[in-house]
Structure 1
Amino acid sequence: MLDLFLQPEAMMIFATLFALEVVLGVDNIVFISVLCERLPEHQRKLARNLGIALAVAARIGLVFSISWVMSLTQPLFSIARAPFSGRDLIMIGGGAFLLAKSLKELWMCFSDDHHQEASKVRAGIALVLLQIVAVDAVFSMDSVITAVGMTSEVPLMVAAILASAVVMVLCAEKINDYVSRYPGFKTLALLFLVMLGAMLMAEGFEIHFNKGYVYFAMAFGLLIETCHILLKKRNQKVFRRIYPQQCGWAVKVK
């Protein structure tokens, strides 16, 4: 087993699979962070960790059911001479769910506090975990098929998934904190999920896009929002330095 990982070709495949799983993990962490916002504060960390664990378990389960996953690429029926496979139906259904969920969360962001608090009360941890597993299965479908095309070694795939899970656990809390603390980041994350949902549906209809453009747009949006936050903090420091009395008065009033 150890000899397998010491082979140069196997190491290159592992590195590629690991990078693929990390990118997939970022999508999952964003979705998990948004869903956990609907839970009471004392349940969020537990739900986030359980969600990551279940997502990893679901991905490993797909790896061990490779023959079934590959059978999903066979056409089941055709509409107007366009064939649809099981994978296509999963992509369309999962993309529609992600799109609807993200648009609903966006609407909640712009609604009043009363509606937001009510939604938190209604959300249960079991329902949140179920949604995490369902969306992760959709996200994982393409990555598992890609992994099978690269190698037939199951240990390499499982090792890449477990290694990416460590990165997810280390990054999840920070990403969740930023999403919770800064409304701009949450809005940007939801718009990112809207794009992913639309892209998954498009892929189900055999309309392919370069996902690199989506990730570039997301990175550019994060850069703009980060600059906006840094500029806001700088202006607040300048205001406190120039008008210390007003700032002290504001603190006393609070």
Structure 2
Amino acid sequence: MFDYLAGLLSDPAAWAALVTLVVMEVVLGIDNLIFISILSNKLPEHQRQRVRRIGIGLALIMRLALLSIIAWLVGLTATVVDLGIVGPVGEHGEPAFETAFSWKDLILIAGGLFLVWKATKEIHHTVDPTPTHDVLDKKAVVINNAGAAIFQIILLDLVFSIDSILTAIGMTDHLPIMVVAVLAAIAVMLLAADPLADFIAKNPTVVMLALGFLLMIGMVLIADGFGVHVPKGYIYAAMAFSALVEGLNMLSRRSAAKRATAPDPHI
């Protein structure tokens, strides 16, 4: 075992795989954290930090549990349902979509549908001025609020954990590298949890942007389940561009607010 770890430490390819995988796991973790932050911000202020910590802790437990049964997880890619419907063949010789589903595909489709449903419901809740009796509404019972939030966080943690670990499996065969990458991503989530949640709470327009991200990620998961593999680079480039535009809008609003409150030099 010691020789195996020493060999990994001296292997440049292993270090390259570790750095790449850490970045990928952090990006997937931030997606997970956005959802946790939006849900926790619906709760009374004294419960938010505790629910965020629970959500991130559950994400760590699920990822490590999935790593411990990695052989079973790889088996999730075997076809279990085949409807026999295949899309037209593209220029690279691959069908546009397929309906031969593995357990991995079914889980991704279910998780994507849940993300689309939840993001759509939250967008409606944000733009509709009419009060509703949502289970996460601040006027609802506090215990039910926390319970509903944690339950939904568990569901999304499971989806993101499976996506995260399958990404790790596709990038390296070395279990220690996977474990280190997962622990690094969870550490980043713990450090960013409160600042990100506070930032979202203080900037309401960012909530809509984050919900748009979740809606897009849900559609990507559904597409992936149907064999339509959207390059992740395109998705994250679009998210980065949207975040940049929103950042410029925030700077513009701040500048306008400062000008509005500044004393008139001509007086």
- TM surpasses 0.5: yes
> How far apart, in 2, do the equivalents of 1:21 and 1:136 lie?
13
Aligned-residue offset at 1:169: 1.1
How do 1:61-100 residues align onto structure 2 when only pairs under 5 Å count? 61-81=65-85, 82-100=99-117
Is contact 1:4–1:10 with CA below 8 Å preserved after alignment? no
1:158 maps to 2:179:
yes
Q: Percent of counterpart pairs with the same letter?
A: 40
How do 1:1-254 residues align onto structure 2 when only pairs under 5 Å count? 1=2, 3-7=6-10, 8-81=12-85, 82-112=99-129, 114-115=131-132, 119-120=137-138, 121-122=140-141, 123-243=144-264
Query: More helix per residue: 1 or 2?
Result: 1
Q: Partner letter of residue 9 of structure 1?
A: A
> How far apart, in 2, do the equivalents of 1:166 and 1:90 lie?
26
Is contact 2:40–2:48 with CA below 8 Å preserved after alignment? yes
State the 4+ residue runs in structure 1 displaced beyond 6 angstroms. Answer: none
Count of paired positions? 244
> How far apart, in 1, do the equivalents of 2:64 and 2:7 lie?
19
Question: CA RMSD for the aligned pairs?
Answer: 2.0
Q: TM-score w.r.t. structure 2 length?
A: 0.85
The equivalent residue for 2:92 is: none
**Deviates most, 205-214 or 65-74:** 205-214
Structure 2, gaps ≥5 residues long: 86-98
Is contact 1:58–1:133 with CA below 8 Å preserved after alignment? no
Q: Partner letter of residue 46 of structure 2?
A: H
**Deviates most, 26-35 or 141-150:** 141-150
Aligned-residue offset at 1:113: 7.0
Q: TM-score w.r.t. structure 1 length?
A: 0.89
**Deviates most, 144-153 or 95-104:** 144-153
- TM-aligned CA distance change 1:77 to 1:114, over 3 Å: closer
